[in-house]
Every structure is written in structure tokens, then in C-alpha cells.
Structure 1
Amino acid sequence: MNEPVSVFRALHHGRPPGDPLVLPGPWDAASARAFEDAGFPALATPSAGVAASLGHEDGHTPAAEMFAAVARITRAVSVPVSADVEGGYGLAAEELVERLLEAGAVGCNLEDSAGGVLLEARRQADRLAGVRAAAGGRLFVNARVDTYIRGVPAGTDVVGETLVRARLYAAAGADCVYPIAAPAGDLPRLAAAVPVPLNANGTPDGPSDARRLGALGAARVTFGPLLQRRAADAVRGLAERLRGA
């Protein structure tokens, strides 16, 4: 139970309403240390934030650079770190798992769209099952559901389609599902119908937002690239002050 992945998995379960697991998203070693020093028990890297720190557009980070960045982050802290690896960079399940473990990650996000288009749900479920089989219990798999950001055919119930995908992914072995950008009002229905913990998007304005999302059914709250962007804004403000603007 003391293995980092077991600790990380346990953090998602048995949480009272209003007390979700809050996972800040470090984009480099320095930010990771800052979040650990603040007392967070685990971290989850955002692919967009890491991409920005490396000088890439979101979705255009070469796999080798992403895994190297994750490795620098995991080496910098003693708490468990999950990694957003987008769609898996075209790697076979066994190689993806190997690269994640080599980087020191205890979990991963895998999204169900490519090129801005939703993947066929059963195909993605098969992909997740392959990753879970290759990992055994060594990785916590967070299955991202992109129905809210990629769109569904006209007339489709977005919540219904999200639930179809979420249940398929849970049945395939996903430890958690992440309906990215789901409105807060949809969370109770989603959480009630999905048999694994639910990941929701939060805002970095204080703990009250996370508590609100937890009360609506979220077991886990992440922030995507928002923390990195706030830090970049702070640097711009500092630069303006130094220039006397």
C-alpha cells in the first residue's frame, strides 16, 4: 500500500462530498517543488502547460520531450505524479506504459479524440484496456472524454454520449473518467451514473470552487494549463514593473 501508485489510487476513494482530491498541474521541476512544498499530496501534469514551458503549441510536443519533462518533474518531488500524455503519441500500449514508468509517473491521462475529432468509443475502450493490461496495477489510468470540447452530431444528448463513453472506459479498466469542460450542472448526473471517480475542471481562485465541484460529485479536480498561464501572467506583470510600464 506504500507504493506511490497505490497511494495515488487510494487518494481518489472514500472522499466525503465537498472534499475532492485537488491536483495542481506542474509544468516544470520548480513549479512541482512549489506545489509539493504547499502540501499537496500528489500532482498531475497538464500537457498544454508543459508544451508552453517547452516552447510548443498545445498538441505539438514531441513525445521524447514530453516524457523528458515528466521525468524532470517526478525527480524533483517525493509525491506521486500523474502525466497527461494526450492521445499517447501513437505508441503501442506496451511502449507507452514503459515510457511512463521510466519517467516515474504513477498515472496518465489519455484523451479520446485526435485531430479535433472524437474517436470511435469502442476503439478507444479497446485502447484503454490494452494500456491497463500492459500496466497491470502499476498505473492509474484517467480516461478523458472529449464530447464537450469536440462536439457531437446535432441532436445528440451530450450528457448521454458522455455517459456511454465513460461507462465503456470504466468497463475497460479506467480508474477515473474526465469529461473535460463538462458544465458544473452536468456533474451530478455524470457522477451518479459512472462507477469510477470523476475528474472535473477547477479554477485556481481558491478552495471554495473545488469544494463546490466536490459537492456536485467530482472526486478529483484538475486545472489544465491554467496555473502555468497564471504564472506566465505574473511574469509579464513583473517584466512591466521592471520596465517601468
Structure 2
Amino acid sequence: MTLASDRTEYFRRLHHGSELLLLPNPWDVGSARLLASLGFAALATTSSGYAATLGQLDGSVTRDQALRHAAAIVAATDLPVSADLENGYGDSPEHVAETVRLALDAGLAGCSIEDFTGGADDPIYDRARAAERITAAAEAAHAGPTRLVLTGRAENYLHGRPDLADTIGRLQSYQEAGADVLYAPGLRALDDIRTVVSSVDRPVNVLAVAGGPSMAELAAAGVRRVSVGGRFAFALGALVEAARELLGGNPTALFARSALGAEAAQAAFAAAPPP
């Protein structure tokens, strides 16, 4: 796949196939090539993971930075890439539409727009306003010959509002507004996930969480796509453990883990030379 339209159509089909779409989230070009070499069918950027590579917190990256990063991930492999574009980097529907148009220019196959305002006092957009923003995003995503796969995100569960009824109502309004995929990160209970899936008529993405349902359970519940957000990037815990081993004078496990990583990187990078 070389043309953006080919990647986008392939990405769209992956949401309607017989297999659960596992969508890993690389944080740089090297991790993108490594994950592609392991057999994943598509990739997605992670706002928190990319911010961590800059030594910054999630939410601090600018639109220009995010889009340059997304374009680099797109260029790293032949796989379709969906970008985490946070809240579209602006409050107004016009800002969101412009962000989506720039996502198309970056060669992306998909992107997500969330209803998080970025403010602690009032973290979630009013539902009507949030739907207006998704409408603008969908119009931009679907206006040309390459129809970006747009994911509408309901952020209640990540921001202290575990209201299933409101979350479902939001996802339904995003579906009506033109979203191709629906996503409520933070859902953990399998019964809640089943209820969401049965309440909408679009593919549903679920964020994998510790102690949450297995991939088999999610597939049986009708989930079509699973992502991991920044969790691969924040395997920084392994770095912390390895560093402490070295400080403690016994880096035995460090050598074993680094040998595995070096072997995988050698295979991935040799198979995917720089464009």
C-alpha cells in the first residue's frame, strides 16, 4: 500500500472483518517499524506516548508537533495509521475541521477527536457542542476522495464522570454526526462494554486496561478494535528497573531484555530501510 487512499480503504475494511483489530500505539519511528515487523495490520499514534519522548505531559504537545509526528509515523511503514488528535487542538468546530484537513494532508488513514475540553473545572464539552465538533470533523474527513476513518471519543470515564447513560448518549450523537468508529476510553466492565456495543451502530474501540476483559471476551462482546494508548511507550517501567539493577551492581536481567530488544530491532530495521 503506497497511496493514502489505499491505506485508508484498507483501514476501513479492517473494522468490518472477521478478526478483532488490535491497534498498537508506537511513539516514534523505530517503535512503529518494530510493531509493523511483528505482524500488526495498522498503527495508531499516542498523544501521551509522544509527549513523553519530549519530556512533556500529555496535553502539552501543539497541533504542529502532533501532525509532524503523525506524518513521520505514516512514512515509517506501509501500514495505515490513525492519529490521536486530542480535542482537535481548538474549541470551535472550525478549528477541529482544520485539524482534520491537516491530518489528511499528513497521509493519515484515520484520526480521533475527543470531547475533553482540556480544563479541570469543566472537563467535558456540552453534548450538543461536542456533537457539533464531530459534525465538522466528519465533514472534513469525508469531503474528498480519501475518506478518513474518524473516531469519536467520549472521555467521561477518564475525567471523573463514570456515567454510562451519558456516555452512550454521547456516542450515539457522534454516530449521528458522522463518526465512523466510537470510543469511550476507561470502560472496564464487560457488561458495560456489551451495553455500549449494542447501543450503537458503528465499530467500537476499547482501551485495553489492567484487569479488564481478555481479547477473546472483547471480541465475543462485539468490540471491533482494541488499542493500548500510551502503555507501550510507558513500558519505561522496564527502563527504571534496568537502571536500578545497574545502580545496584547486578544488571543480569538488563542484559537479557536488551538482547531480546536488539534482536527484534535488527530484524525490523533491516526489513524496513529508511524511505
- The residue that corresponds to 2:199 in the other structure is 193
Runs of 4 or more off by more than 6 Å in structure 1?
none
- The residue that corresponds to 1:178 in the other structure is 183
Which of 237, 240, 243 is the aligned partner of 2:241? 237
| 5+ long unaligned stretches in structure 1 | none
The CA deviation at 1:240 is 3.4
Structure 1 position 149 matched with structure 2 position 158: yes
Match of 2:226, SS state, is strand
Cα distance in 1 for residues equivalent to 2:82 and 2:67: 12
Q: More displaced, 210-219 or 164-173?
A: 210-219
Cα distance in 2 for residues equivalent to 1:237 and 1:5: 39
Match of 1:27, SS state, is coil
In the alignment, residue 31 of structure 2 is paired with which amino acid? S
What number of residue pairs does the alignment pair up? 235
In the alignment, residue 179 of structure 2 is paired with which amino acid? A
Cα distance in 2 for residues equivalent to 1:218 and 1:196: 10
The CA deviation at 1:181 is 0.5
On the 8 A contact 1:177/1:197 being kept in 2, the answer is: yes
Deviations 1:72-119 (A, max 9, x none): 111111100000010011162442123212222111111111114110
What is the RMSD computed on CA atoms of the aligned residues?
2.1
| 5+ long unaligned stretches in structure 2 | 251-275
- The residue that corresponds to 2:216 in the other structure is 211
- The residue that corresponds to 1:102 in the other structure is 105
Which of 215, 224, 227 is the aligned partner of 1:222? 227
Structure-to-structure mapping, 1:1-245, within 5 angstroms: 3-15=6-18, 19-90=19-90, 92-114=95-117, 115-116=119-120, 117-136=123-142, 138-152=147-161, 158-185=163-190, 186-203=192-209, 209-230=214-235, 232-243=236-247, 244=249
Match of 2:187, SS state, is coil
Q: More displaced, 235-244 or 218-227?
A: 235-244
Cα distance in 2 for residues equivalent to 1:94 and 1:119: 17
The CA deviation at 1:209 is 2.3
Match of 1:234, SS state, is helix
Give the direction of change, closer, same or farther, for the CA distance of 1:64–1:122 in structure 2 (3 Å limit).
same
- The residue that corresponds to 2:256 in the other structure is none
Cα distance in 2 for residues equivalent to 1:53 and 1:210: 28
The CA deviation at 1:135 is 2.0
Give the direction of change, closer, same or farther, for the CA distance of 1:93–1:61 in structure 2 (3 Å limit).
closer
Cα distance in 1 for residues equivalent to 2:210 and 2:30: 18
Match of 1:110, SS state, is strand
Deviations 1:32-84 (A, max 9, x none): 00110001010111111111112211111122111111111111111000000
On the 8 A contact 2:141/2:150 being kept in 1, the answer is: no
